[in-house]
Structure 1
Amino acid sequence: MAVLGALPPGVRCRPIREADWEGVVDCLCRGFPERDRSYWIQALTRLSQRPAIAECQQYGFALEEAGRIVGVVLTLYTRYRRQEGDEIRCNLSSWSVDEEFRPYAIKLITTILKQRDVTYTNVSPAPATLKHNLALGFRLFSSGQFAFLPAFSSMQRSCRVLEARPDLAEMAMLSDSERYILSEHAALGCLSLICICDGAAFPFVLMPRRILRGLIPSYQIVYCRSLADLSRCAGAIGRFLWRSGILLCVVDAKGPIAGLFGWYRPNRGLKYFKGPRPPSLGDLTFTELVIFGP
């Protein structure tokens, strides 16, 4: 049961510091026994390398009792430079609280949800936390996933696909923000692509994943401007991916997607947001999926 009042004596909620890493990792390992310590150490290391944003926590918040970390939530803040003004998103991740302190677990989240100009996301909610998401005002922005075979989509003759590189001349056809997204995600192990179609450039980021219990290699769409752009370029992207032997892609969706050959899976990969600007479908940039790994 969630408690919104004051914490009991001896328990406090405070920002995570670098000196807390060992206790934070211990807590996360207790909460997510399927993950080993190296996963969480890499996660914290990558958080430490993210650009700092004023008035935003670098790592997240912890519940502490008598000097021991008994609860954790990690925060991944990103500033997006837009023509219409900057946008800040915070991906809430890895919410773990030891059993005896779970009545106070929601304090970790309410402590963070104070900046009204920030859009908060939860892209991997545990089933037990869904009611808390709704109580805190989070809303769905993706209610399922669409698995598709891009090579089966029609392809315009004028379309060609290039792997993004800093020295690629076509990078100049994108905005500064999109060039940053492509380069940063390539450094994190994603496949960053530019589709040139009828003289226009369309950026895409794909992350390698294995689905269906790890049996099928595929790509998760991490970034596209819109699902319409994905449909327009899917055929060219599919033929590019064919060279590596991967035929299947997955993208967040609310239903079947026109122009893509595949099947919609409702209630898969539910994703929530709270704040002024919901992420668009097909935009998982700088979330835990990419920075921490699947």
Structure 2
Amino acid sequence: MVDCLCRGFPERNRSYWTQALIRLSQRPAVDEFQRYGFALEKADRIVGVVLTLYTRYQGQEGDEIRCNLSSWSVDAEFRPYGAMLVATVLKRRDVTYTNISPAPATLKANRALGFRLFSNGQFAFLPALNSVQRSRRVLEVRPDLAEMAMLPDSERYILLEHAALGCLSLICICDGAAFPLVLMPRRILRGLVPCYQIIYCRSLADLSRCAGAMGRFLLRSGILLCLVDAKEPIAGLVGWYRPNKGLKYFKGPKPPSLGDLTFTELVVFGP
């Protein structure tokens, strides 16, 4: 499987894919769903792969299962079977499937399989330029942090799990209420500019509310810039909208919220 992935994504080295599969093996299984994904085999040789990252979410309307499809790769001579490989995964109508990093060559196939856009751009912003009230503060998450009790179990789980995966998990206290935030360190513009990608916020409105306090916190580590998925400029944030950047697709009953990339390949495998 690693050999096939290396052929399909030559810009990634072997250790990247080995680490990706190790991390998949360490994720909790979700019901009867596949832990790794599906492979296309020909004469005892793997010639196609699609990885599947399943996660169960607890919501007010009941549990929701999402599957992030990742690393869809089929050797050139077997490309006609590529859509069939993914179609094998897409059989469950109660699952929301996502593709957050589609290769340009697969966009037509994505649309043919019923995927629709849930984000068609990114918003780059400078949170430290937002004003901040004295009553607002940001805390880095740890298991014994008293303010963790202000959040539901599902969000405490998200914060702790993503901290273990190398993200920066924060709680913003605003007017006596707690707002969870997960940020992932990245480097953009050919690795020259450090920034944070928003991996989780309850809503873009909540992100705007917490931006000033978050920005002051990030200044301690010298980070000025953040990125978040968006469909348009975000009210209350100082920055610029970049259309047609970071296109993200979904298929199923409920699209993920903008600003929610939890337990996707970006986090589990790395950028």
* 1:14 match: none
TM normalised by structure 1 equals 0.92
Q: What is the aligned counterpart of 2:82 among 85, 93, 105?
A: 105
Unmatched tracts of structure 1, length 5 or more:
1-23
* 2:241 match: 264
One-letter amino acid matched to 2:246: G
* 2:195 match: 218
* 1:50 match: 27
State the alpha-carbon separation in 2 of the partners of residues 67 and 192 from structure 1.
43
Q: What is the aligned counterpart of 1:209 among 186, 189, 195?
A: 186
> Does 200-209 or 103-112 show the bigger shift?
103-112
One-letter amino acid matched to 1:166: P
Q: CA deviation at 1:101?
A: 0.3
TM normalised by structure 2 equals 0.99
State the alpha-carbon separation in 2 of the partners of residues 87 and 163 from structure 1.
28
CA RMSD of aligned residues (A): 0.5
One-letter amino acid matched to 1:283: D
Matched, 1:291 2:249: no
* 2:258 match: 281
Matched, 1:125 2:98: no
* 2:18 match: 41
State the alpha-carbon separation in 1 of the partners of residues 117 and 95 from structure 2.
17
Equivalences for residues 68-147 of structure 1 within 5 A: 68-147=45-124
State the alpha-carbon separation in 2 of the partners of residues 175 and 131 from structure 1.
40
Matched, 1:243 2:227: no
How many percent identity over aligned positions?
84
Corresponding pairs, count:
271
* 1:182 match: 159
Q: CA deviation at 1:83?
A: 2.6
Structure 2 residue matching 1:251: 3-state secondary structure: strand
- Whichever of the two has the greater Rg, that structure is 1
Q: What is the aligned counterpart of 1:229 among 206, 212, 220?
A: 206
Structure 2 residue matching 1:105: 3-state secondary structure: helix
One-letter amino acid matched to 1:280: S
Q: 1:13-69 deviations in whole A, cap 9, x for unaligned?
A: xxxxxxxxxxx0000000111111110011000101111112210000000000000
Q: What is the aligned counterpart of 2:148 among 144, 160, 171?
A: 171
State the alpha-carbon separation in 2 of the partners of residues 207 and 286 from structure 1.
12
Q: CA deviation at 1:212?
A: 1.2
Structure 2 residue matching 1:293: 3-state secondary structure: coil
State the alpha-carbon separation in 2 of the partners of residues 252 and 178 from structure 1.
20
**Displacement over 3 Å in runs of 4+:** none
One-letter amino acid matched to 1:277: K
Q: CA deviation at 1:82?
A: 1.6
Unmatched tracts of structure 2, length 5 or more:
none
* 1:195 match: 172
Structure 1 residue matching 2:117: 3-state secondary structure: strand
One-letter amino acid matched to 1:263: W
State the alpha-carbon separation in 1 of the partners of residues 95 and 182 from structure 2.
24
One-letter amino acid matched to 2:179: F
State the alpha-carbon separation in 1 of the partners of residues 215 and 30 from structure 2.
37
State the alpha-carbon separation in 1 of the partners of residues 106 and 135 from structure 2.
47
